[in-house]
Amino acid sequence: MDISTTKDTAAPPTPQPSADQKRAERGTTRPGDRIFLGLSRGSGIFLLALMAAIAVFLSYRAALAISKDEANFFTTFEWNPTAVPPEFGIAVLAFGTIVSSIIAMAIAVPVAVGIALFITHYAPRKLGGPIAYVIDLLAAVPSIVYGLWGALVLVPQLDGLYGWLNDYLGWTGILEWQGGAPRSMLTVGILLAIMILPIITNVSREVFRQVPQMQEEAALALGATRWEVIKMAVLPFGRSGVISASMLGLGRALGETMAVAMVLSPSFEINASLLDPGGGTFAQNIASKFSEATEMGRDALIASGLVLFVITLLVNGAARLIIARRKEFSGANA
């Protein structure tokens, strides 16, 4: 006698929403959440509208000035908007702004990353805390104070450095010194490096502190030295953060005004040597000439400000592209 048994098959139970999902569904209907969503969205829209308004204003005033300019706005080595006819260009200003910012970044970024690594991975807590506090204080010093310090202390002390560079590297032409007060692009770059150092250091320090402890402990367990741990675990993890910190510092270097105006001897000519006076920057030129400028002169200065505005946007856009291409190093994927 064959006895066949059939197995009862029951339908799988319907999955019940978790407590977090229930809270999320209820939260979307709460008045407070709707208000917060509206405020957040409105803030983002307001920021975009504000940026667009600034761009429209600068473009309009710049168009008025450039339409009356008898010289090439991008290649002319002269700034004389009050002449008849007006002639002015931004070649010298663009050169000075870019060169001084590059010098500042070349000095500040390695030093800032080194300080951040020392505070987070080498210094004992009793030493790292005071150093971090002093760095934070440097970030709060006003630009005018940096400018006064640069003019009264830094500039007189650079004679020896300039003489040494001229003796040993003057043959390059880039570091040749003809004598005189050291109020040049290199001086501006050194001062800007000191000013942006706290910004890059603080952001890099916080990024390095977010490195997963398990990664560092795993590397140490495999016999890695402290430097090998930093090279294999810390720097790859914090690379995108260091790039962001560097862009923040570059933004300040590009737009610095009073400090640059107090240590630079501007002239509308481009010198091959970084040690000779000359050049200028967008922000310094606007700060020094805006109060005495005529209506045409102000429009010309606004036109140069538009160029600086575009350069800043391009720099930040390039930084975002670099960070997006290196998402594998970000904390979200660690």
Q: CA nearest 191: which of 247, 253, 138?
A: 253
Residue 181 resides in a domain: yes
Residue 83 resides in a domain: no
Query: For residue 32, what pLDDT is reported?
Result: 80
Residue 275 resides in a domain: yes
Query: For residue 26, what pLDDT is reported?
Result: 54
Query: For residue 6, what pLDDT is reported?
Result: 47
Query: For residue 280, what pLDDT is reported?
Result: 84
Collapse the DSSP code of 131 into the 3-class scheme (helix H, G, I; strand E, B; otherwise coil) and give the result. Answer: helix
- Given the structure tokens 């590397």, which residue do they identify? 219
Query: For residue 139, what pLDDT is reported?
Result: 85
Q: What is the CATH number of the domain that holds 266?
A: 1.10.3720.10
Query: For residue 24, what pLDDT is reported?
Result: 55
Query: For residue 59, what pLDDT is reported?
Result: 93
pLDDT by residue, tens only, the chain of 334 residues: 444 444 445 555 666 656 556 555 555 567 888 888 889 999 999 999 999 999 999 999 999 999 888 888 888 888 888 888 888 889 899 998 999 999 999 999 999 999 999 998 888 888 888 888 888 888 888 889 999 999 999 999 998 899 899 889 888 888 888 877 788 899 999 999 999 999 999 989 988 988 888 888 888 888 888 888 888 888 888 888 888 889 888 988 888 888 888 888 777 788 888 888 877 889 888 888 888 888 898 999 999 999 999 998 888 888 777 777 655 444 444 3
Residues 6+ apart with CB under 8 A from 254: 97, 101, 282, 283, 308, 311, 312, 315
Range of the domain at 270: 93-295+314-333
Residue 171 resides in a domain: yes
Query: For residue 16, what pLDDT is reported?
Result: 64
Quickly count: other Cβ atoms within 10 Å of residue 206's Cβ.
14
What are the φ and ψ backbone dihedral angles of 294, each rounded to 5 degrees? -75, 180
Residues 6+ apart with CB under 8 A from 87: 69, 70, 71, 76, 78, 80, 81
Q: How buried is residue 263: exposed, middle or buried, by Cβ count under 10 Å (0-12/13-18/19+)? A: buried
Using left for φ > 0, alpha for ψ between -120 and 50, and beta otherwise, residue 46 falls in alpha
- As a whole number of angstroms, the distance between CA 188 and CA 195 comes to 11
Q: Is the dihedral of CA 175, 178, 179, 181 positive or negative?
A: negative
Residue 37 resides in a domain: no
Per-residue DSSP letters for 8-71?
--PPPPPPPPPHHHHHHHHHTT-HHHHHHHHHHHHHHHHHHHHHHHHHHHHHHHHHHHHHH-SS
Residue 328 resides in a domain: yes
Residue 72 resides in a domain: no
Query: For residue 21, what pLDDT is reported?
Result: 61
Residue 47 resides in a domain: no
In the Cβ-directed half-sphere of 210, how many Cα atoms lie within 13 Å?
19
Query: For residue 14, what pLDDT is reported?
Result: 60
Query: For residue 180, what pLDDT is reported?
Result: 79
- As a whole number of angstroms, the distance between CA 228 and CA 233 comes to 8
Number of structural domains in the chain = 1
Which pTM value belongs to this model?
A: 0.82
Per-residue DSSP letters for 169-200?
HGGGSTT---SS---SHHHHHHHHHHHHHHHH
